[in-house]
Structure 1
Amino acid sequence: MAETVQYYLEQMVPELEDLERKEIFTKEEIKSIVKKRTNFEYALKRRPAQIIDFLKYIEYEMNLDLLKKKRKNRLGIKGRVTISDYSIKRRIYHIFDRAIIKFAGDVKLWVQYIEYAKNEGDHKMLSKIFGSVLQLHPTNPMFWIMASKYEYEINTNIMSARVFLQRGLRLNHDSHQLWHQYFKLELIYVEKIKARRKILGISNKDDESNDESNDESNVERKDSQNFIEITADDDFLKTKKLELKGLDNLPNLDDDNLLLRGELAKVVYSNAIKAIPNDLSFRKEFIDVCQELSDTNTIQEEIYESILKDFENNPEALSYVAERHVANISDVQSVEFVHAIKNSIDEFQKCIETLPNDEMWYLFSKFLLKYSRMVSEPNLIAFLNKKLLKTYKTASESNLASSQMYLDWINWILEKEESNSNDTIKMKGLLTKATDTWPNSSKLWEKRINITISLNDNEGENDSIDELYKLALKLNPTSLILWDSYISWIFKKFKNGDLKDFELEKLLLVCNKIYDCFYFLFIY
């Protein structure tokens, strides 16, 4: 161990002499550097090795390199490059390499290594790092995405960026991240090409004269390193063959070119939903990607159509598609929003005709309730409230109102500022209807009891608070919510003098037994 440490220290001598000669560090500072590095080197040789020692060593060297650069700038030191100009950076890479040998499975360490090389702008080292990490972690989509982003954003090489994602998808065909990144890459590339064409003022006439040369160059630029075969439907292939290769000349293609209309991204999406066919959230994220970029309405519509086709009996999917009209409108006071929300309502109603179940009705009511609270224009509020009330009543009459829908309905009524005796009677009837329809919903019973208490509805034995609690607990004997509420009610009655000591003791004894049962149920 001592021999290895001594060897590494000897390798530092030329660098330290150069730093002293340039007067960047004093003799005392160099002695301190040697002492620090000696301690770190011995720490790295401990058994077992700990990653924290490597990270501390790397952090020290980074700070030292930063201090060296600041002093060099302050002193105005220029001239030819000497060993001290690159030695610290080379040592940091060496420490990273030594750490990777011992902790090859540590993902965070690899990420730090990549980020350091990126910050240093060392492209050659980055290529080496990506090559190593992708061999050791081929099933981690993050590294394939990082490599692809580096190739496209730093090296501006769309071909290599595609190849990295294709390789990653070959090994991780069910990775959501990789499919979304691949889809986004194609959209970003087309957007960039369109922006470039706009700046250069490239017209269709200019392109027509170059069609023949472009076709030849495309053939020459075909990439032989495709690992995933990306194909589309037969109808599409009859129109234009698309392959994930030879696309560097896209800027010179005409406006009607399929690639510039996002057809390549559509092909990627088509293959993605074949690889992961029954995941609605997976498809929603493609819409999110589209919304980050411009001029993607056509692609979005095709995605929505595919959702309707493949999830025709899924209320969540139908609701998501129906809401698309208002999804991208931020100003709810605009005329555009009024037309959009009407379109969404019409589509919701068609969905209910197609799939008339309780979840579809609930999602429609949830949509109306959400936007009735957001808008401020009186006529629009009145329109949405009227639609919402009709929706609640129709669902209730059809016995398709869920327990959550009843809760939303009750809360919506309570939110209204105006209230009169008719509203109170209607509320009582609604509460009774709700608990009769969903007798095992403890939340509905709790809501009914709390509202009855607030309305001071203690008239009649059947409608008394105690009777309501007894009925609710009989139907929901394991509901902690109701038992907690009942105990609070007991103490409230005792404080008001409506309950005697022995009655309180008797009731609490029963409650304690119930809580003991709950305790054993949760433990065992």
Structure 2
Amino acid sequence: MAEYVQQNIEDMLPELEQLERVGLFTKDETRQILKKRQGYEYRLRRQTKCKEDFLQYIQYEINCLALLHKRREKTGYSFKQLNLENVIKERINKLFRMATYRFQEDLKLWMSHIAFCESKDDVVRVGKIFTRMLQVHNKKTEIWILAAKWEFENKNAQNARATLQRGLRFNPDSKKLWLEYYRMELLYTDKMQKRKKILGVEDPEMEGKKDAVLTGQVAEVVYKQAKEAFPGDAELILGFIKICELFSFNKSQLDSMYKDLKKNYPDKPLTWDARARRCMSIQTGQDSSNEDKMHSLYEQAVSQINTSEMWGLYIKRCIELVKEKTTDSSKTEKRTQKLVNVFNGANDQQCLTEELFILWIEVLLNVGLISEAESAAKCGTHQYSTSITLWKHRLLIAIQTGQSQDDILKLFKSAKKKVAEKDCWPVWQIILDFLSSCKSEKLEEVLETGSTRYRNISIPVKEFYINWVGLTSSINNVRNLYHRLQQLKPLSLEFYKTYIDLELAQSVVKVKLIRQGYEDAVSEYGDSSSDLWLDYIKFESMKGKPENAGVLYYRAIKNLTGDLNNNFITKHTLIQTGHATQDS
């Protein structure tokens, strides 16, 4: 190992001597560089190679290269770049090659090498790196696309085309590669058309290819081949349509794609959705006429394909139109009314999913149709009786419309019966907030019931319970409740903290009771909360017995493990030395 390191160090000596001789670095600086490099070389020769060692060495060399450029600017010395900069660049590239050979699966490492070479305008080397990278990662389509994109941006469309074709041979089932291949061909056509228009002359490269490239026929061939490779895939054709719509010169191909959709997939909801959406993109000068045509097509679609998917696509498009910014308020009102009508139509056909019901209720609430929203929520909870979100909306609307307390409690009981108890906390939270705000006598009864339910309910209910008693009653009642709920575990850490805070807020602080509260808390959470121990130590130091702080410290060290232990020691040390507060 030492022999290899020594050989590499000796190879660096001429470079460092040159730097010192021309005055770019001092003797002490070159000695430090040599020492640093020697340390990195020894680390690279370890039996177990570590990626971080390579990265640190590479970063050090990049920093040296940047410093060298600054020194050149400062001194005005611009000679011997071949002997100085290029040597460092070659060393960096060598380190990258070694790292990528050993850690081939790390894509970030490959991309870092490419980024370095691009920053140095080393186009040839970037091409070679992509070639090696694709040999290793030939099943990763995003790498093929990235390589083709780089070739195309560096004015080599032929290589970009060849790269994507090779990628398709390795990944024949990749739709994304076909779509990007099609995009690349259209970009090339667009580029050639613009070039011809600006220069006004024929491109020598285009001889014999004029019709095929300039008219987009090559891209059309790609589309047809992809269609043959994935028969029966309407979504793929929609992907091609989205790309084709980005290019204004390709209208004939776009028309052909829509015809394929209509002919081959007449019963697909996505086909009707695409056809209807196209009505709005056609420029006729009459937006209202186009919008009416779109709605007509959607209505025809839902009459032929009466499914939740088709209605969902129609509703989604209507929502997009409502959200469009327009100065015409009457148009927005018209679109909103149309959206409400579509929701009603879907509901009449029983084609609203749970998500669409939620969306419908939110739309109705936004436009102020409260009674309609209430009816929609009622219908939704009837159809999807286990949906916690729909029950939440129904309860909130009932509260908003001022229904009686008995009716709201009846709704709450219905929700509890239908929704799984482990998911039921949101409706409990709504009813507790409601009863608390109207100071209902039934709140305590509901809290007592919730304290004995499933842990997902009982834990937050107990937190709410002790906090409510603390705000509305005496400290003696809080203490009685605390001791009673202590027997009904589990209890959250927040429950203990709330009780302790209520005790600390009293004019006469009962140290013994607070200490007992902390002891109860650490018995449950002493091995999972470092902040709890810090609070306990702070309390004893300031209001209890300061001599207990040391005992608590060692108890915390014993109970906490791993990162929690280290975190506790760090925070405690900072607090003791005055460099941090308890809250930090």
TM-score range, shorter chain: 0.7 to 0.9
Could you say which residue in structure 2 is the equivalent of 1:397?
348
CA separation of 1:280 and 1:63: change in aligned 2, threshold 3 A: farther
Matching residue of 1:158: 157
Which of 295, 318, 328 lines up with 2:272 in the alignment?
318
Match of residue 355 from structure 1: 305
Q: CA deviation at 1:510?
A: 5.3
Q: Is the contact between residue 424 and residue 457 of structure 2 (CA under 8 Å) also seen in structure 1?
A: no
Whole-angstrom CA distance in 2 between matches of 1:84 and 1:494: 77
The AA in structure 2 aligned to 1:472 is A
User: Counterpart of 1:469 in structure 2: which amino acid?
Assistant: F
Residue identity (%): 29
The TM-score, its normalising length taken from structure 2, stands at: 0.69
* Structure 2 residue aligned with 1:182: 181
Distance (Å, rounded) in 1 between the aligned partners of 2:48 and 2:161: 41
Conservation of the 8 A alpha-carbon contact between 1:14 and 1:83: no
Q: Secondary structure at the match of 2:46?
A: coil
CA deviation string 1:291-310 (max 9, x = no partner)? 55443444344444444455
CA-to-aligned-CA distance 1:396-416 (integer Å, 9 cap, x gap): 333334444333333333223
- 1:447 maps to 2:398: no
Q: Which amino acid aligns with 1:405?
A: L
Would the alpha carbon gap of residues 79 and 131 (structure 1) be closer, same or farther in structure 2, given more than 3 Å must change?
Answer: same
> Which residue in the other structure is 2:291 paired with?
341
C-alpha deviations, 1:310-338, integer Å up to 9, x for none? Answer: 55444345324422444699xxxx96644
- Code of the residue aligned with 1:262 in structure 2: it is G
Distance in 1, matches of 2:76 and 2:426, equals: 75
1:481-509 CA distance string (max 9 Å, x none): 54531354256436645435873465225
3-state SS of 1:59 partner:
helix
Where do 5+ consecutive residues of structure 2 fail to align?
A: 460-488, 491-584
Residue 44 of structure 1 and its aligned partner are, at CA, apart by 0.8
Give matches, 1:19-38, under 5 Å: 19-38=19-38
| Match among 465, 468, 471 for residue 414 of structure 2 | 471
Superposed displacement of residue 82, structure 1: 4.8
Q: Tell me the equivalent position of 2:118.
A: 118
CA RMSD of aligned residues (A): 3.5
Taking the aligned partners of 2:170 and 2:426, their CA distance within structure 1 comes to 53
Q: How does 1:185-196 map to 2 (within 5 A)?
A: 185-196=184-195
Provide the secondary structure at the position in 2 that maps to 1:83. Answer: coil
Q: Which residue of 425, 437, 441 corresponds with 1:499?
A: 441
TM-score for the superposition, normalised by structure 1:
0.77
Give how far 1:198 is off.
Answer: 0.6
Contact 2:388 2:426 in 1 (8 A): no
**Number of equivalent positions:** 460
Corresponding position: 1:249 with 2:206? yes
Distance 1:318 1:400 in 2: 17
Instruction: Indicate if the aligned counterparts of 1:311 and 1:318 stay in contact, CA closer than 8 A.
Output: no
Q: Deviations over 1:233-285 (max 9, x none)?
A: xxxxxxxxxxxxxxx426972xxx34322221122123234434566665554
Shift of 1:78: 4.4
Q: How does 1:125-524 map to 2 (within 5 A)?
A: 125-154=125-154, 156-202=155-201, 248-249=205-206, 253=210, 257-277=211-231, 282-326=236-280, 337-374=287-324, 375-417=326-368, 424=371, 426=372, 428-458=374-404, 464-474=407-417, 476-478=418-420, 480=422, 482-486=424-428, 488-490=430-432, 492-493=434-435, 496=438, 498-499=440-441, 503-504=445-446, 506-509=448-451, 511-512=453-454, 515=457
Aligned with 1:511: secondary structure?
coil
Is the CA contact (8 Å cut-off) linking 1:196 and 1:251 kept in structure 2?
no
Q: Distance in 1 between matches of 2:51 and 2:173?
A: 32
> Which ranges in structure 1 are unaligned for 5 or more consecutive residues?
208-213, 215-247
CA distance in 2, matches of 1:341, 1:22: 75
Distance 1:75 1:492, change over 3 A: closer
Q: Aligned partners of 2:437 and 2:20: how far apart in 1?
A: 85
Does the 8 A contact of 1:197 with 1:251 survive in 2? Answer: no
Q: Decide whether aligned partners of structure 1 residues 427 and 177 sit closer, same or farther in structure 2, where only a CA change above 3 A counts.
A: closer
Q: 2:375 and 2:151 mapped to 1: Cα distance?
A: 66
Q: Which moved more, 1:122-131 or 1:47-56?
A: 122-131
Which segment is superposed worse, 97-106 or 401-410? Answer: 401-410
Matches of 2:223 and 2:335 in 1, distance apart? 36
Q: Are the aligned partners of 1:365 and 1:392 in contact in 2 as well (CA < 8 Å)?
A: yes
Residue 275 of structure 1 aligns to which amino acid in structure 2?
A
Change (3 A) 1:102 1:281: same
Structure 1 residues 434 and 263, CA gap change in structure 2 (3 angstroms)? same
| Structure 2 counterpart of 1:390, one-letter code | N
The aligned residue for residue 5 of structure 1 is 5
Q: Retained in 2: the 8 A contact 1:40–1:53?
A: yes
